[in-house]
Structure 1
Amino acid sequence: MKTWLLASVATLALGLASAATAQQQQLGDNMEKLQAFQATGTSMDFRTIEQTGDYADQLRKNLQSIELPDGFKIDLYAVVPDARHIAVGPQGVATFVGTRKQNVWVVTDRDKNRVADEVKEFAPSIEFAIPNGVCFSKDGFLYIAEQNRVLVMPAAEFFYESPDVAVGVVVPKGELVPASEESFNHTARVCRIGPDDKLYIALGQPFNVPPQEKMDLYNQEGIGGIVRMNRDGTGREVFARGIRNSVGMQFNPANGDLWFTDNQVDGMGDDIPPGELNRATGSGQNFGFPWYGGGSVRTAEYKDEEPAADAVMPQVEFTAHAADLGMDFYSGTSFPQKYRGGIFSAQHGSWNRTEPVGARVMFTPVNEDGTAGEAEVFASGWLTESGEYIGRPVDVEVMKDGSLLVSDDLAGAVYRISYEK
């Protein structure tokens, strides 16, 4: 009996493995077909997410706890599982939401009542791996920065109604970072198209503090930094170094400077080192990591090493371990004047602090000379007085009507903050 059972289990395992291999082969074939503008035969029966019912009602109830400045209100825009970084389509047709899992979601508000009517899986004929980073070019090309690949979808706002999409490979799988450095840690990429029409991607390094023997490789590849390349993947270069793990960046539309958040070193105590909001005024700058763990706080691992003489200190130091992630410049006109041209940024919330902090949206004004003003809390309440998270903001993105979207990967939602005069 035991021998028969073991044989049956082995046969089942072999069958499952064979099925998985066949599925992987099919997905690989799909990429080749899509690049040749051929149909893959993927079912039109999309996976969709229910937008009504008890779950959506409870999320709306939770939002009653969120505190905002006078005149602002927050509403549930969409139920989006594992919602991370947001890319609002330049045509205003749809919004795309990345995840740290295997899905990209496409959100559509068909009747334009500022609440999503439909949330469905985007491009189900493609297998994604941590497609966290989604960003649009002005001419409607959607870029998806995965753990170790970069894809581009021309006319994504047009093709999203089909399981098959026009797709191009910008960086082949396994070439965004060397295979030896492909990690489960700090691999949620973010991307932006710069004013130079180049593609910028932040590459978090996988360690809390990297060992010295890794530094030459990381500096060469741009790991622990930001790389840029032409939109077809050619001409790759390292734009910035000395960055631990940036999961949010955006260009200042006023002068083209690249601003980005950075997550500080863990294990140094509750109150140090601070989180960072940085400003890159040109290519080749070094932002101090790993000599500095955040702000001017030195790391124990590199305390005897001479820091880079030209290390750039952050424009803003945030509360330690609040986990500063996505950010966007406010380019709309529906918010009061004080917010125009400033920076909204999301704090995901601490994971290892004795007393939790974060889980809020911050606002940082930008001065006429391009430097940062004093940051302030804009939206809070996802962290209760008892220390319980009812949500964890990840990203913010300005919509065409001037409202602000906020993603939440704990609740699996995207919220909309608007202003009523």
Structure 2
Amino acid sequence: MSRLTLLAVSTAALTLAACGGNEALDPSAGFGPDPTLPPPSRSLFPTVNVADAVGWPAGRTPIAAPGFQVQAFATGLDHPRWLYRLPNGDILVAESNAPPKPEGLDAPAGGGLRGWVQGLFMKKAGARVPSANRITLLRDADGDGTAETKTAFLTNLMSPFGMALVGDTLYVANADAVVAFPYQTGQTQITAAPRKIADLPAQRNHHWTKSMVASADGSRLYVGVGSNSNIGENGLDEEQGRAAVWEIDPATGTHRIYASGLRNPVGMAWQPDSGKLWVSVNERDELGNDLVPDYMTSVTPGGFYGWPWSYYGQIVDTRVEPANPGMVARALKPDYALGAHTASLGLTFGEGPLFPAQYRGGAFVGQHGSWNRKPRNGYRVIFVPFANGAPAGPPQDILTGFLNDRDEAMGRPVGVQFDRLGALLVADDVGNVIWRVSPAQPVL
């Protein structure tokens, strides 16, 4: 069990389903629809509190919430980041990492002190390994909760992340473009050459991941494009088309900005009751341990969510110059805060009969974990209950124990997805494992 401090939605909601029940709650630091946010706190040197990546000792696993169990669905992967379930139940895993930076941009965050700090973080967190540039197919044909088939499904990609199947076409969001491949049900490898659908802003200093979902009718693709900076410090000209969700017509490759002001929109999923698109967003740094909370929100078409001029609605970030009161006045408040610096990446909604009924339609969030907060935050998978298509309660732990007794990272959760039987799969890019969480007893 880690010694992380878990943050609560409010002082009245101190009943997380925490594993072991011994994690202190901090109601000040940002969970829920109306988080208590402190004033900004800045220091001369950025906070560095990185959990060294050490991997899982033999026989060790994360800790599932009471009433649940966890097992390894697949092991021996290479930095598994994102998951997608095909209609026949096969699971696709994007084994991926950041692409090489353009020449002259070797230092993270554009150099300087912040670049040095972020470079230290990446090294300690085990993130600076070459990308496998591969999508692997996992198949559990006998339904025992372990994939007996593991094949290289697509290779020679460019830091792949998001995936979406529409009819017989599989779309893949590389770091620099959306590409398409022909797909036949049951095939375990695709050798066809990619067909480019649309270029995407490639990584320079920040945020290479490109998540993706398709509309219900398959006529549109939605792609999350992160910012190139913390608060636009490299100039807003470099942020054109970034910090946004794109809507792409796959038939023509044309796109429009569907929503903007989202610093790093990562996990995207359709909420089954409302039919709305939801996204998990990583917010800005260097305003203190408890600012700014990452969040998830339903996406209003044409909506603007504040970045870089304001956060959590219309709270002005005075560091951003020149100020822009007009844009601040437009900024929408997110629906639900997910804790400061949790690096909330994965997002999916409960489905199927395997989990108890109270989990259906609620949000499962993979929190990769903080690198610049004391105490550390995240390093867990949480569940947020929903009612009538909106969050309806405090977060609950689903999977914890990713840190050992020395506060080293044995694993870090990223993408979350349900398998064909209804168990929750969790991609762990430090442990190189896909974990499978299911009820300890069958749901009657």
Residue in structure 2 matched with residue 169 of structure 1 by the alignment? 196
* 1:74-85 alignment, distance < 5 Å: 74-79=70-75, 80-85=77-82
**Which of 133, 145, 169 is the matching residue for 1:141?**
169
Match of 1:186 in 2: 207
Listed one character per residue, the Cα deviations across residues 384-408 of structure 1 (whole Å, up to 9, x for unaligned) are 3432211100010011211110001
8 Å contact 1:88–1:96 — kept in the other structure? no
Compute the displacement of 1:378 (Å): 2.1
- Assess if the C-alpha contact under 8 Å between 1:349 and 1:357 holds in 2: yes
- CA shift in 2, pair 1:276/1:182, >3 Å: same
Is 1:272 aligned with 2:291? yes
Q: Single out whichever of 357-366 and 97-106 deviates more from structure 2.
A: 97-106
Counterparts of 1:101-112 in structure 2, within 5 Å, are 101=131, 102-112=133-143
Aligned runs of 1:34-73 on 2, under 5 Å? 61-63=59-61, 65-70=62-67, 72-73=68-69
Secondary structure of 1:61 counterpart = coil
Q: Deviations over 1:83-125 (max 9, x none)?
A: 001011111244333422222222122433220113232233x
Structure 1 spans left out of the alignment, 5+ residues: 1-54
> Which structure has the highest strand share of the two?
2
Indicate the residue corresponding to 1:89 in structure 2: 86
> In structure 1, what is the Cα distance between the partners aligned to 2:184 and 2:246?
24
Deviations 1:102-152 (A, max 9, x none): 22222122433220113232233xx21111222333x35322101101112
Q: Does 1:130 align with 2:154?
A: no
Asked whether 1:99 is paired with 2:96, we answer: yes
Contact 1:403/1:417 (CA < 8 Å) preserved in 2? yes
**Inter-CA distance 117–314: structure 2 relative to 1 (3 Å threshold):** same
Aligned CA distance change for structure 1 residues 385 and 333 (closer, same or farther; 3 Å): same
Give the equivalent residue in structure 2 for 1:204. Answer: 226
Counterpart-to-counterpart distance in 2, 1:267 and 1:144: 33
Partner of 1:227: 246
Per-residue CA deviation, residues 360-381 of structure 1 (Å, 9 max, x unaligned), is 0111112215355432222211
Q: CA deviation at 1:297?
A: 4.7
- Paired residues of 1:159 and 1:165 also in contact (CA < 8 A): no
> Structure 1: which 4+ aligned runs deviate by more than 6 Å?
none
Equivalent in the alignment of 1:364: 384
Q: Deviations over 1:25-64 (max 9, x none)?
A: xxxxxxxxxxxxxxxxxxxxxxxxxxxxxx99x567221x
Q: Cα–Cα, structure 1 residues 273 and 110, in superposed 2: closer, same or farther, change >3 Å?
A: same
Name whichever of 378-387 and 206-215 sits farther off.
206-215
- Is the 1:275–1:295 Cα contact (8 Å) retained in structure 2? no
Aligned partner (choices 418, 424, 436) of residue 398 of structure 1: 418
Letter in 1 for 2:216: P
RMSD over equivalenced CA pairs, Å:
2.4
Q: 1:82 to 1:212 in 2, by over 3 A?
A: closer
Q: Which amino acid aligns with 2:396?
A: E
Higher helix share: 1
| More displaced 10-residue stretch of structure 1: 407-416 or 367-376 | 367-376
What is the CA-CA distance between 1:233 and the residue it aligns to?
4.4
Q: 2:88·2:186 contact (CA, 8 Å) conserved in 1?
A: no
SS at match of 1:390: coil
**Retained in 2: the 8 A contact 1:159–1:166?**
no
For 1:161 and 1:189, the matched residues in 2 are separated by: 22
Contact 1:274 1:295 survives alignment (8 Å):
no
The answer as to whether partners of 1:147 and 1:187 remain within 8 angstroms in 2 is yes
The one-letter amino acid paired with 2:422 is: G
What is the alpha-carbon distance in structure 2 between the residues aligned to residue 182 and residue 322 of structure 1?
Answer: 22
SS at 1:378 equivalent: strand
CA 233–117 in structure 1, closer or farther in 2 if over 3 Å, else same: farther
Matching residue's letter, 2:86: G
Give the TM-score taking structure 1 as reference length: 0.77
Aligned-partner residue type, residue 211 of structure 2: V
The percentage of counterpart residues that share the same residue type is: 27
Unaligned runs of 5+ in 2: 1-53, 98-130
Which structure would you say has the larger Rg? Answer: 1
* In structure 2, C-alpha distance between the alignment counterparts of 1:213 and 1:143, rounded to whole Å: 32
1:239-276 Cα offsets, whole Å, 9 max, x none, are: 00000011111111222211111111112111111111
Q: Which amino acid aligns with 1:242?
A: G
Deviations 1:222-249 (A, max 9, x none): 3110001122343311100000011111
Question: Deviation of residue 184 (structure 1)?
Answer: 4.5
What is the TM-score normalised by the length of structure 2? 0.73
Count residues in correspondence: 350
What is the alpha-carbon distance in structure 2 between the residues aligned to residue 146 and residue 212 of structure 1?
24
**Aligned partners of 2:83, 2:65: CA distance in 1, in Å?**
21
Q: Matched residues in 1 for 2:362 and 2:163: separation?
A: 22
